Structure formats: C-alpha cells, structure tokens
Amino acid sequence: MAKYLPEPFRIKMVEPIRLIDMQSREDALRTAGYNVFGLHAEDVFIDLLTDSGTGAMSQHQWAALMEGDESYAGARSYYRLAEVMQEITGFRFFMPTHQGRAAENILSALLVKPGQYVPSNMHFDTTEANILARGGRPTNLVIEEAFEPANRHPFKGNMDLDKLRHFIQAMGVENISFGMITITNNAGGGQPVSMENLRAVSAIYHEFGLPFFIDACRFAENSFFIKQREPGYAHKTILEIAQETFSLADGATMSAKKDAIVNIGGFLAMNDEALFQNARNELILREGFPTYGGLAGRDLDAMAVGLREGLDEAYLAYRLGQTAYLSERLLESGISVIQPSGGHAVYIDAGGLFPHIPQGEFPGQALVVEMYRRGGIRAVEIGSVMFAHPDPDTGEMQYPKLELVRLALPRRVYTQSHLDYVTDTLAEIASDREQVSGLRFTYAPELLRHFTARFEPV
C-alpha cells in the first residue's frame, strides 16, 4: 500500500492564489508591524496561519446550506444538528455558539470564581484568556514528554496523572472550578490524548467531585490517533471512539471550525441541567436564542453534515497523512519539528533553529516573519509572543518551555506540491539562518496579544 494516501476527493471549484514579489512582501510586513495577522490575506501565497474555519466544505455541506431554516426559534436546522450531537457526543444538553471561545466564555462566566484554578493538559490561548478574564488561574499539567521535541511518545497530549492528583490535593478542591483536557493538545503540538489517559483523568476529577469538560475542537483527529496507536482500538470505528471519549466527560466546548469543517460555529454541551439553564441564559444574553446561538440556520446544517464528515476514516487517513508528510520532509531538510507529527499541524522548533535569538526577542516570531518574507507563507508563532506573561504573584516574566512555529493545515485545501514549496522555503531559511534577527514589541495588549501586537526588528 502507498505510504501517503492521496486526497479522497477531487477538486470541483478553485480559488486563485498569487505570490507577490519580494519588495511588496517586505512593504506588507512593515505595514503590518511584523505581525502576520495584520497582512491582507490576498498578499499571502500559502496560508498556514490556522486550520480554524479555513477548511473546504464538501458538496454535501454546500447543499445543506440551502436547506437552512432561518426561523428565530425551533428551526429544523437546529433539530438536525441536535440529532448529530446526540449521536456523537451523547450529552444531554447542548447549545450552538458562534465559535469555540463563546462556549469558553459562558463556561468560565458560570463556573470560575476569582482565584480558582482550572487544570488541563494545556489550555489553548482563548481558553486561558477566558479563565483569566474571570480572575481564574488556568494551569497546564501535561506530561513532561510534551516538552521534548524529539520524543516520539504516541500520546504526548496526555495529562500527567500524578501531577493532577497532587495539584488538586495541594490547592484544595474548593479552589478548583472544574477540570479540562484539550484534544488534541493544540498548544503542545497537536498531540493526542489516549483513551486510557482520558479515562484516568475522568476518574480523578470525579473522585474529587469536579466537573470534567473536554475542549473537543479536534476530537475526530484524536479518535483517529487512538485507533492507530492505542491497543484495543484498531477495530473500533471513529464514531465509537468519539462516543467513548465524550462518555467520560460531563460536558464539552468545541470550535466547530476545526473537526466539523465549517467556516464558523461551535457548541457548549453538558449533562448538568441546572448548569445548562444558567448557560442558556448567558447564551441568550451574549449570543442568541438557544436554537441558533449566534449562527444562521444554514451554519447549523453545515455543522451537522461536517461533524459526520470529520469522522470519515478515508478523510482522516489522508488528513493525518498530510501532516506526517510535511513533518518528514522538513526533518529530511534538517529542520527540527515536534515529533511525532501532530494532527492538524506541524510545529517547528524555532528555538532550536535560531539558537542565536534569545526568548525575549521571539525566535518563533522571527521565523514567521522570515517565512513570509522569503516565500509568502503565513504561519503562526506559538511561543513567547503568545504565552510569555508575568507571574501573578511575583511579577517575574514566565517564558514557555518551547518556542514553536505552527504550520497549520486547513482541511481539504492544499495539495502535496503546496507542501513541497513550504519545505523548500524552510530549507532555504535554515541554510542561512544567521542572517535572521529577533524582534521587539512596539505595541502589546495585555490579553491575546499575538493577534494585534506590533514589532520592529532588533
């Protein structure tokens, strides 16, 4: 059998992209304050900024849009989504939200009291920010292997179970709002969490009476990794693995812009009825009526179809094959990437690539800027720009353990030759790395600063 499976689809509609010249790219960078979030997307040749909302919908999803019921309350679209939600997640209650962070906001607003901790393997930045915004303390307790880029542990997203137990005991259960886990672990390389670990995490949270919520953005990719790598799961379907995953938790937040392959959407789901009633009131206040939650009826239909498509095995094999391909080609070119490759993205160890740039001068951001300058490629820093922050008790700057650059692959969008171009560009950068210098802030907001910060070269 071929090592990498080709796309299990053919292309019916195309969107032109163009590579503007080097001088124009340099001008664009300067205008954007060396923050690629500030670029005009049409000036980007290959956009690996995110896999969020950037996927290509299928003909079935486009067709479903036409069926959208735009009734304010009780739309058919809602009931179609509810049926899929029930089948896949099994949670008693759910509400659509316009995206993942809206679900995180509602959950944090209801459960987090100032000073309380929220443990997880690793929180994504929006989750972290939503907890912080309520005065809470997001805490990351992923296994140590997650911080060793070359370690090929099959489930590097796993929670460190001893750390979790000790943490809950040391902080006191009354100082913890609820427990989370992120699948796959985006902030730690898109690495999966095993079912064994999910089961144990669930048992620990429940032993202490803590509600357990899954950040389920990439639950289908996580399920596929479980099928491939965990003993006892090879013969289960992805749907069965997803069902088992959700059965361990009391609820979930999800950005449907990932594994449900829609351009906008998300949900908050749970089993607790009282919590649901409060959440529904928050939803009405902030998002919309509970049967549409800030989305159009057609968005709910696209989500319902996408949730099922995301579980398709031929699709997942191609998808995870694409990240594995990119990762292997980069390794062959001598570029250190987090191993094994993640589900939705390949993470370059920018700290390792640019040892001459100190963490305070953002080696990851320097690589992001250089990729755009050289090749019109847009990627995202997942390092000190995103995560360095002063300790709330001591005020001392806390740097993340790794300075990464994420190449996120939109779903069903780019082909292998796009990925080859990306590899060639990175190989060129690596061959004259000494010429690349660091950056410093000229503007940085307090929360989620990577989106709007501005820089200048050091």
Binding interface with ligand F0G (CB under 6 A):
50, 52, 99-101, 124, 126-127, 182, 186, 215, 217, 255, 257, 266, 408
Min dist CB 57 to ligand F0G, Å, is 16
Distance (Å, whole) CA 453 – CA 300: 33
Look up residue 347 and give its two tokens.
Answer: 């993470």
Of the two residues 61 and 182, which places its CB atom closer to ligand F0G in the complex? 182
Query: CA end-to-end span of the chain, whole Å?
Result: 50
Cis before residue 16, ω within 30 degrees of 0?
no
Min dist CB 184 to ligand F0G, Å, is 8
DSSP assignment of 215-234, as one string? E-TTHHHHHHHHHHHSTT-T
Residue 167's CB is within 10 A of a number of other CB atoms, namely 16
Of the two residues 94 and 124, which places its CB atom closer to ligand F0G in the complex? 124
Q: What is the Rg, in whole angstroms, of the alpha carbon atoms belonging to the chain? A: 21
Q: What are phi and psi of 307, to 5 degrees?
A: -60, -40
Q: Helix 297-309 crosses helix 59-66 at what angle (to 10 degrees)?
A: 150
Residue 373's CB is within 10 A of a number of other CB atoms, namely 18
Min dist CB 231 to ligand F0G, Å, is 26
Of the two residues 182 and 322, which places its CB atom closer to ligand F0G in the complex? 182
Look up residue 309 and give its two tokens.
Answer: 């498509």
Burial environment of residue 416 by CB neighbours within 10 A (0 to 12, 13 to 18, 19 or more): middle
389 touches 398 (CB < 8 A): yes
Of the two residues 306 and 438, which places its CB atom closer to ligand F0G in the complex? 306
Of the two residues 124 and 414, which places its CB atom closer to ligand F0G in the complex? 124
Min dist CB 147 to ligand F0G, Å, is 18
Residue of minimal Cβ distance to ligand F0G: 100
Min dist CB 257 to ligand F0G, Å, is 5
Look up residue 364 and give its two tokens.
Answer: 């990851």
Q: How far is CA 120 from CA 106, 434, 457, in A?
A: 18, 37, 35
Phi-psi region of 294 (alpha: psi -120 to 50; beta: other; left: phi over 0): left
Min dist CB 44 to ligand F0G, Å, is 15
Of the two residues 52 and 197, which places its CB atom closer to ligand F0G in the complex? 52
Of the two residues 51 and 69, which places its CB atom closer to ligand F0G in the complex? 51
Of the two residues 213 and 325, which places its CB atom closer to ligand F0G in the complex? 213
Min dist CB 126 to ligand F0G, Å, is 4
Min dist CB 79 to ligand F0G, Å, is 23
Distance (Å, whole) CA 193 – CA 13: 36
